Amino acid sequence: MQPEEEPVAPSASPTPATSAAPANAAAPAKAVAPTTPPQQVSPVYLLTVARRAKLGAMLKEKREEALKKLATAKALDAAVRNANFPAAETELHEEILLAGVWGILETFLTDITVEFLTCLPGGLQAKTFSLEGFAKGGSGSSLLREAAEKEVNELSYKTFPEMLKRFQDVFSFKRPLNETLINELNEVKCTRDAYVHAQGKVSHIYLRRAGGLARERLGRKLPLSKDYLGAAIDKSERLVNDFFARGPVNYVHFGQVKAFREMWEATHLNSVMTFDVAWQD
């Protein structure tokens, strides 16, 4: 088996100068591979080490899936426009497209955050769990998954900027996302909420949450159009790429080799032989 990571050869220590050994002298002792004691790792962290073997692939797949669906939404909108449907049918299409585009973006963000918090539970805000929850879940991993889902679901009731702020903290962003892009997409979410809960009409909630980007006055219907929906798709694509590039991309190397290394170094195998020495070419 050849690890994906570059093996690290043990450093050679200098050999002191000695006088020539007699012909019948015993052969020098064979060098022993360096060893280190097992690392002290939190038992909770080890609960999901096998799950982390698929984390990197999952993060990449979710990004590709979201971008593919957004591209499909753009193509669908173009096809509907070219078909010249009656106005009522086009309006219904626009409402459905708005909800669908937002669903694609939100699903991408929440799915990768739930999986990340399950695989690396140190980021969970909940630090204690009940015995009842453990019995219900059946395993420590299931309990962590449930806690991650609960935390992310609660965030979905906050404003979009608030939710994104927490997601950026989870993935340890070194550079924040573009604030203008976040606010513009927040208005898209507010418009989507207005169509879901208020027949597309401006409410006090819309005005409060959209802020200075509110597009209509209280009681007026929020217009949808080819340009508005096309821009919403483009901005969603940009956010998917920007979010991935600032956070999740730093964890795409979490694969089978890394998981195997973590398990190796947490056991007494590491006291016998280090991972790099054991699995070098």
pLDDT in tens, 85-103: 999 999 999 999 999 999 9
Q: 123 vs 28, 62, 139, 278, CA distance in Å?
A: 51, 20, 19, 32
- Residue 23, pLDDT score: 47
Report how far residue 184's alpha carbon sits from residue 172's, in angstroms, rounded to the nearest whole number: 23
DSSP character for 175? Answer: S
Does the pLDDT of residue 34 top 60, yes or no? no
Report how far residue 41's alpha carbon sits from residue 262's, in angstroms, rounded to the nearest whole number: 9
Mean pLDDT of 256-281: 53
Name the maximum alpha-carbon separation found in the chain: 103
**pTM (2 decimals)?**
0.75
Which DSSP string corresponds to 16-69? PP-PPPPTTPPPPPPPPPP--PPP---HHHHHTTTGGGGHHHHHHHHHHHHHHH
Average pLDDT, the chain: 80
- 142: Cβ contacts below 8 Å, ≥ 6 apart: none
Report how far residue 3's alpha carbon sits from residue 279's, in angstroms, rounded to the nearest whole number: 7
Mean pLDDT of 214-242: 97
Which residue in 77, 22, 85, 5 sits closest to 259, CA to CA?
5
